[in-house]
Amino acid sequence: MSFDPHNVDLDTVDAAQIVCYLNAGENEYNGQLGARISAIFVILICSSAATFFPVLAQRAPRLRIPIYAYLFAKYFGAGVIIATAFIHLLDPAYAEIGGNSCVGLTGHWGDYAWCPAIVLTSLMVVFLLDFGAERWVEIKYGICREDPEPMMASGVEVRRTDSRASASHSGDKQVKEIESQTQELAIERSVKQQIAALLILEFGVIFHSVIIGLNLGVAGDEFATLYPVLVFHQTFEGLGIGARMSSIPFKKGSWLPWFLCAAYGLTTPISIAIGLGVRTTYNPGSFTANVVSGVLDSISAGILLYTGLVELLARDFLFDPHRTQDNRRLTFMVLTMVLGAGIMALLGKWA
């Protein structure tokens, strides 16, 4: 029997039918094509500029960017990423496929808490990739956490002696070659780990950016509010990615940082263009759209939760042996991070 919203018996009706009816969306596109096209270029320019800025500042010392400007970009962006995970991904995912949503009350979607399960799976997969990559590098280069020296260096076993009297000039020289190689291996190991973490972070953010772009292209009356909010949203996220990228010592001439900056800057504008292309047929409130958005948001939430809390906060503030001991600078870093999280959380009121 089809659902009649004008004749409902609350004692017999399936609750899922009521929820699906109340949550049913339509294509709300209402024109303003010129403004929507302008969003492609405004978001492209703003998000790309914010992403490229920290990288350019780090690679062009002649610009003389103050250290506090760099720290602001880095830790404000970290706060933005953490707030994005909770406010802009986790909450929408629950609204799309959570237990009280139309999807969550329908068929096998109602048999299990799929939203947190997908978040958990995503988070654990990222952890396993991160841990696996670190362990692989340790085995490849023979570097252990307990002993920063390589177990084998150029096929020569490293041996220490407490007898300084027996050490010869040639032996000292050999040790200094080995020490230099050890330092290079440690740096290479760190760089590879940071690049892996960055790729995972950008992967999660890009997933989110695709959905944002599609929805902006077909938004209805809320477009006027959504437009400026998403400009700030994408700019802040780009600042966080760019700042994180600028802290990685890529090899000279590497194309990867420029490619990653460009990829982030282009993702949302391309998605807006696609949204405009299907502006009269795409329905962001449909069952299928909710399933796709909910799953992607859940995956992205897991990625950003792990990256934000482990890679950004824990490693930078708790476990970094080279963290500054300057209380003034530390206070600035923490307050900047909190500010970024607070502003991004506030934007969640509108988008």
The answer, yes or no, to whether residue 328 has pLDDT greater than 90, is: yes
| pLDDT tens, position by position, 79-102 | 988 999 999 999 999 999 998 888
Report in angstroms the alpha-carbon separations of 169 from 166, 172, 176. 10, 5, 11
Distance, CA of 254 to CA of 17 (rounded, Å): 55
| pLDDT tens, position by position, 50-59 | 999 888 887 7
Q: Mean pLDDT in the chain?
A: 82
DSSP assignment of 151-189: SEETTEE----S-GGG--HHHHHHHHHHHHHHHHHHHHH
If 0-12 CB within 10 Å is exposed, 13-18 middle and 19+ buried, where does residue 11 land? exposed
Mean pLDDT comparison of 7-11, 219-223, 288-292, 329-333, highest-scoring range: 329-333
Tokens of 245: 């990228």
Q: Provide mean pLDDT across the span 280-298.
A: 87
| pLDDT tens, position by position, 146-179 | 544 444 443 434 444 454 545 555 666 666 675 6
pLDDT at 69: 85
Distance, CA of 339 to CA of 263 (rounded, Å): 26
The answer, yes or no, to whether residue 11 has pLDDT greater than 90, is: no
pLDDT at 160: 45
Number of CB atoms found within 10 A of residue 9's CB: 7
pLDDT-based confidence at residue 144 (cuts at 50, 70, 90) = low
| pLDDT tens, position by position, 211-253 | 888 888 888 888 888 899 899 989 988 988 888 888 788 877 8
